[in-house]
Amino acid sequence: MNPAIDLFCQFDSFEPDEVNRSYYEEYQANGKGVNVSFVLRKMQIANTATGFLGGFTGDFIEETLQNKEIATDFISIDGITRINTFIRAHKKEYKAVNQGPMISEQSQHQLLEKLAILGTKDMLIVSGSLPQGVPEKLLVEIAELSLRKGFKLVMDISSDIMLECLTYQPYLIKPNDEELATWLKTPALVSTAAIIGAANELRKKGARNVLVSRGEKGTLLVTAQGDIYQTTAPQGKVVNTACAGDTLLAAFIGSLEKGESIAEALIYATAAGSSTAFQPGISDLTDIEKLRQTIELKIGRN
């Protein structure tokens, strides 16, 4: 719901109070939901991007999506869609992420009206932060709507409001290990057993499937049937962590939509997420076969 233009820059060094000149820069239509749309399209899966857009930056994002043959159904707002900046210098990465424009109650109501037409054959992926003016309760309204209308709901959000959304049994949620610990008010989850236990707690609260992104430690999935899937992560030089989780999620959902098994979908998704982490922008998916050969899969059961 809160798209952005992301500016990726690379510097030899980045020092305060000095003019730092980049040797590389790239502007990308972005935001977590937009990233998901891009990856699904790369997998030849038709999808529609929606949310709130405004100003010249909003025009850039919508045109970029349409040029990639992605359908759009955004709500036009006053204000300017945000620009985020990601700076890489030596082994450090700096992230400047803005709030986004103020969204009126009328625009929020328009979004709910669009989502109300979804039905049992549809899936909605809600990903990322909320722009200014949008209360977290809107996420609960969307979750309730999914249960009432019967469409599958996938959620990738950081807010504690996720716990209220679980009442409405979302199809899949994608936290990382830090978010798991925050939601359940526990110390840092260091061991795999602790993460599995936390994922099971969220299943008890209503989540049907819990996909946990663990960065260099790989990926963990606990399914509605109680099966536990774990993958290792490929090794490589990390360049961009900003979009890796979005790629992972989209690749997993996309693989399932194409009829792949859960095991194959998780291996593919882990490879895709790593591929994005190893380059400045979103992966073009051309190196997936090579990366997936390095991934180990373990399957267990609660």
Instruction: State residue 242's pLDDT score.
Output: 74
What is the end-to-end Cα distance of the chain in Å, rounded? 35
Beta bridge partners of 300: 228
Catalytic residue annotation: 246
Contacts of 202 (CB under 8 A, 6+ apart): 166, 173, 175, 180, 183, 184, 210
pTM over 0.85: yes
- Give me the pLDDT at residue 246, please: 95
pLDDT given at position 243: 87
Identify the helix (H) or strand (E) that includes residue 27: strand 24-30
Measured distance CA(296)–CA(218) in Å, rounded: 9
pLDDT in tens, the chain (302 residues): 889 998 989 999 999 999 999 999 989 898 899 999 999 999 999 999 999 999 999 999 999 999 999 999 999 999 999 999 989 998 898 989 898 899 999 999 999 999 999 999 999 999 998 999 999 999 999 999 999 999 999 999 999 999 999 999 999 999 999 999 999 999 888 899 999 999 999 999 999 999 999 999 999 999 999 999 999 999 999 887 878 999 999 999 999 999 999 999 999 999 999 999 998 789 999 999 999 999 999 999 98
At the topology level, CATH places domain 4-301 in UDP-N-acetylmuramoyl-L-alanine:D-glutamate ligase (3.40.1190)
**Running DSSP on this structure, what letter comes out for residue 126?**
E
The whole-number pLDDT of residue 99 equals 86
132 secondary structure, DSSP code:
B
Q: Where exactly are the structural domains of the chain?
A: 4-301
Residue 83 has a pLDDT of 95
- One-letter identity of residue 121: K
pLDDT of residue 241: 80
